[in-house]
Chains A and B, each alone.
Chain A
Amino acid sequence: QKEVEQNSGPLSVPEGAIASLNCTYSDRGSQSFFWYRQYSGKSPELIMFIYSNGDKEDGRFTAQLNKASQYVSLLIRDSQPSDSATYLCAVNTVGSGGSNYKLTFGKGTLLTVNP
């Protein structure tokens, strides 16, 4: 069973601080990794994806990937109250046919940014 694990939180940070969200995955063959943001009652919204080891930056967001440790993280700099949401880590698994993808999600980490 391929698993994606996240701390459920809640993670509470003050406005302007750095929020650090972590995720581990069990399938060593996984190739692509995604962070989605989900507001309560809404659908997952793509924030970032990362395929290669190292860091990838997009505005206030930085994704970090370490395939040897099977670890993905998301840093949010200058956190804003509007960043308050559940952050979902998702890992893409390619099926046996080579053209079928599916995302395995973690349970998500609830982030609260306090004004």
Chain B
Amino acid sequence: EPEVTQTPSHQVTQMGQEVILRCVPISNHLYFYWYRQILGQKVEFLVSFYNNEISEKSEIFDDQFSVERPDGSNFTLKIRSTKLEDSAMYFCASSPVETQYFGPGTRLLVL
């Protein structure tokens, strides 16, 4: 059964550094998403991506964040200058239309 994959599984970085989180969505899906979950809190929507552009973003998704689909398979989330409060699990999801399937996540720790 096709799955969403994410790399790396864990990332430790210093405050102020840039990180790129990578995702490979399910191949025939059209919509792509990033969510995050701070430890002990709810899963929060960051951004959705459709037809090679951002279709919606949340208040969390400020100028420090960007997304890209550099080729036909990868979908990336870049955080330009990480802050301590960016420490969280970051989940990529994809959907053919509405039903979203989540990847295993990247645990980001900002020191």
Contact = CB atoms under 8 A, between A and B. Distances in A.
B56 A102 contact: yes
Contacts, number: 65
Interface of B: 31, 33, 35, 41-45, 48, 50-51, 55-56, 58, 89, 91, 93, 95, 97-105
Contacts of B33: 102-103
B56 A46 contact: no
Given A43-B105, A46-B101, A95-B55, A101 B42 contact: no
A4 to B, nearest CB: 8
Nearest to B54: A100
Interface of A: 32, 34, 36, 42-46, 49, 88, 90, 92, 95, 97, 99-108
B95 A43 contact: no
